[in-house]
Amino acid sequence: MEENRLEMNIEALLLVSRTPLSLQAISKAVGVEQKTVKEAIERLCEFYKTRGINLEEVAGGWQLRTNPKCAETIQKFLQAKPIKLTKQALETLSMIAYMQPVTKAKIEEIRGVDTSHIIKFLIEHGFIRIIGQKEVPGRPYLYGTTKFFLEFFGLKSLSDLPRLQEEIELKGEDMENLSEPEETTQEEEENKDSKFFEEISSIIEEMKKT
């Protein structure tokens, strides 16, 4: 298939698909090997760079997405309110993203507050889902992020999340598996918690802007 015709077909597939299309799916649909499809996609990416629509790799596939620079105009036209995440929702979502699969009890143990309404909000808006049950008495639900989470923040995969391994291990692991901590005051502990939450929330908010 000639280059121009191939690009036209790929563009049409991306336009009618409601979800990101993998390289394999596009290759199968157009009947061309993946290497050639990837080259055509790269050309389309270059073409769309300065347009109102961009071709981006998100959630393990490729998708035509509106240029973030046009967001204000689009919102005015649609008169739609974008999804806004509160600081509490971002804190909870960031914990699930980094620690998944994770139970509600573990999140509440770390945050020190009830998260029922936040978990419900995140599920209803498609950011997280139940991915299993923990093999302990009561078999509590395990939560993880969704493809929509990746799409919303413009991530290719979970591996794109910035690493905060030290903080996650400190917060997520059982204390019996850690070395004896130094004695700290309650105020110092609260400051440490606040800094942890602010850092991960800031990172996710920054990813939303880009």
Average pLDDT over residues 181-205: 50
Q: Which of 23-32, 68-77, 149-158 has the highest mean pLDDT?
A: 23-32
What gap in Å lies between CA 146 and CA 58, rounded to an integer? Answer: 12
Average pLDDT of the chain, as a whole number: 79
Amino acid identity of residue 119, one-letter, is: I
All domains in the chain, ordered by first residue: 3-77 (1.10.10.10), 87-209 (1.10.10.10)
Question: Sign of the CA dihedral 183, 185, 188, 194?
Answer: positive
| Residue 167 in tokens | 């903080």
Tens-place pLDDT, residues 55-113: 999 888 999 998 989 988 887 787 766 677 888 888 899 889 988 999 999 999 888 88
Binned at pLDDT 50, 70 and 90, residue 198 comes out as low
